[in-house]
């Protein structure tokens, strides 16, 4: 069976050349591609949500197959409908349905029915496919529309998808297609979307569903996302990360009624204890104005004394960075908490972090070795060593291995600027190493 494109010319361009001209500038260049278990991608028109979707696609080392779960906007066909065989056609070319995997999913998912009619005019899955073809022309798909339903039903679908992947041994990514809040003010969208995203990054489908109901969050693809979260957790996922977020208002500058768009990837790596503590410290302070006290039983990796820097990034852009050259506390845990709070609330370069920004933040924690004096730049290495430049009571510090800083001379120049040390003032140099945690 051939499923012809129905959204081309409306949600995205109707020719291959035009599609490429629109999405190529949206590709995120120079970023490492990785294998992820799952992702969330928006499905509005490319001028509105294409940049967020491409921020996800640019990071994906795509496997053979993409299972794409999308909501049904048309109401046509079965509530949970799969197209189990045939070809999907887009202006970028034809895409084969991974029929063995689709039939295995039906075997394990009693709720899912083969029903091509549910897909005939539905755009939520279709708009993802040309972008996937852009990165992997021979990608196969398994398209499934997932209507609103009980949490138990959505969980059963997720477990069934995980079981089918185990049975077939197929490498696949599970993509949930969803936009976020619909037609509310920019400020309300930020707040409501942050509530949903906070649950998603914790891989907590039940909490996401509860928050959506309690806060009247108009996230159209919550059912596909819930099923995806269950599946990826069953397959070993540890956390999700927001890689892009914006609203239609960021494009049109009309902020009274916007639609939110979020892009996430699902990872198998666990967050370090250092970053988990920094995140907990920031979230407690921003939400409750409370400084947490680390557990009395501090683990070995959080004990001992050391200088610590905590850096916050919001969707890849620096959002705060505060640290201590040397230890101010008798354990690393308290050092992390203090500097995490300062990074979020007291970095003079930025406004304090707002609650709605919390799900969009990523963290890194640098634990410093004691500074060692050096005689000259021959003992420095911009990738390996951080630098402290001291002149009288003035001191400037720069961490190692920073993007765009390639030489010790550049490090020293930046340290002078940060500390207000003139270019001709005599200085003492120190080097240190860091253990960086993500």
pLDDT of 109 higher than 90: yes
Residue 397: predicted pLDDT: 94
Residue 23: predicted pLDDT: 98
Domain extent for 395: 372-437
Q: d(Cα 226, Cα 73) in Å, to the nearest integer?
A: 17
Q: d(Cα 410, Cα 67) in Å, to the nearest integer?
A: 47
State the total domains in the chain.
Answer: 3
Q: Please give the full DSSP string across 17-35, using - where no structure is assigned.
A: HHHHHHHGGGS-TT---B-
Same domain, 67 and 134: yes
pLDDT of 297 higher than 90: no
Same domain, 404 and 304: no
Same domain, 282 and 407: no
| Of the residues 315, 339, 368, the one at which a domain ends | 368
Residue 238: predicted pLDDT: 95
pLDDT of 161 higher than 70: yes
Same domain, 362 and 385: no
pLDDT per residue as tens digits for the range 191-250: 999 999 999 999 999 999 999 999 999 999 999 999 999 999 999 999 999 999 999 999
| Of the residues 368, 403, 428, the one at which a domain ends | 368
pLDDT of 369 higher than 90: yes
Residue 206 has which token pair? Answer: 């039940």
Residue 143 has which token pair? Answer: 């398209």
Same domain, 363 and 384: no
CATH code of residue 314? 3.30.700.20
Same domain, 188 and 314: no
Mean pLDDT of 310-336: 95
Strands (E), 149-307: 172-177, 182-184, 239-247, 258-267
| Of the residues 238, 267, 296, the one at which a domain ends | 267
pLDDT of 301 higher than 90: no
pLDDT of 132 higher than 70: yes
pLDDT per residue as tens digits for the range 74-106: 999 999 999 999 999 999 999 999 999 999 999
Question: CB of 155 within 8 A of CB of 230?
Answer: yes
Same domain, 252 and 279: no
pLDDT per residue as tens digits for the range 162-184: 999 999 999 999 999 999 999 99
What is the helix (H) or strand (E) element at residue 1, kind and residue range?
Answer: none
Of the pLDDT bands very low, low, confident and very high (cuts 50, 70, 90), residue 394 is very high
CA distances in angstroms from 279 to 59, 306, 360, 362, listed in the order given? 23, 19, 12, 8
Same domain, 24 and 158: yes
Phi-psi region of 320 (alpha: psi -120 to 50; beta: other; left: phi over 0): left
Q: d(Cα 408, Cα 398) in Å, to the nearest integer?
A: 10
Secondary structure in 3-state letters for 335-350: HHHHHHHHHHHCCCCC
Same domain, 136 and 204: yes
Same domain, 204 and 347: no
Mean pLDDT of 43-52: 98
CATH code of residue 184? 3.40.830.10
Residue 296: predicted pLDDT: 62
Same domain, 382 and 357: no
CATH code of residue 430? 3.30.1490.150
Instruction: Measure CA of the first residue to CA of the last residue in the chain; give whole Å.
Output: 47
pLDDT per residue as tens digits for the range 6-40: 999 999 999 999 999 999 999 999 999 999 999 99
Same domain, 399 and 424: yes
């Amino acid at each position: 069976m051939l499923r012809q494109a129905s959204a081309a010319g409306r949600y995205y361009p109707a020719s291959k050349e035009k599609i490429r001209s629109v999405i190529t500038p949206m590709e995120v260049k120079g970023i490492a591609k990785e294998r992820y278990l799952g992702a969330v991608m928006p499905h509005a028109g490319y001028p509105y949500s294409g940049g967020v979707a491409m921020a996800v696609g640019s990071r994906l080392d795509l496997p053979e197959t993409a299972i794409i779960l999308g909501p049904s906007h048309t109401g046509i066909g079965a509530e949970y409908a799969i197209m189990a065989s045939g070809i999907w056609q887009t202006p970028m070319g034809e895409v084969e349905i991974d029929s063995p995997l689709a039939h295995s999913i039906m075997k394990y998912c009693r709720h899912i029915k083969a029903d091509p009619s549910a897909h005939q005019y539905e755009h939520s899955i279709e708009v993802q496919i040309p972008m996937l073809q852009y990165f992997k022309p021979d990608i196969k798909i398994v398209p499934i529309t997932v209507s609103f339903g009980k949490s138990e039903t959505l969980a059963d679908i997720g477990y069934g998808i995980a079981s089918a992947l185990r049975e077939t041994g197929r490498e696949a990514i599970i993509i949930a297609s969803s936009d976020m809040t619909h037609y509310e003010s920019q400020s309300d969208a930020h707040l409501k979307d942050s509530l949903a995203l906070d649950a998603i990054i914790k891989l907590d489908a039940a909490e996401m569903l509860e928050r959506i109901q309690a806060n009247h969050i108009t996230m159209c693809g919550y059912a596909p996302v819930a099923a995806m979260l269950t599946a990826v957790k069953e397959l070993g996922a540890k956390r999700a990360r927001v890689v892009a977020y914006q609203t239609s208002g960021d494009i049109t500058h009309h902020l009274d009624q916007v639609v939110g768009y979020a892009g996430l990837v699902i990872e198998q790596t666990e967050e370090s204890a250092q970053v988990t503590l920094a995140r907990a410290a920031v979230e407690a302070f921003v939400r409750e104005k409370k400084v947490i006290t680390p557990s009395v039983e501090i683990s070995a990796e959080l004990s001992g004394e050391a200088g610590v820097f905590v850096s916050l990034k919001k969707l890849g852009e620096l959002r705060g960075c505060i640290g201590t050259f040397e230890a101010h506390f008798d354990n690393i845990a308290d050092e992390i908490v203090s500097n995490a709070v300062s990074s979020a609330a007291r970095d003079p370069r930025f406004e304090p972090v707002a609650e709605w920004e919390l799900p969009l933040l990523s963290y890194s924690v640098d634990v410093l070795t004691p500074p060692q004096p050096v005689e000259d730049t021959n003992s420095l290495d911009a990738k390996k060593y951080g630098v402290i430049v001291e002149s009288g009571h003035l001191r400037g510090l720069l961490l190692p291995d920073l993007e765009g800083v390639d030489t010790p001379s550049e490090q020293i120049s930046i340290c002078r600027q940060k500390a207000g040390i003139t270019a001709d003032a005599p200085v003492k140099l120190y080097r240190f190493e860091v253990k960086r945690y993500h």
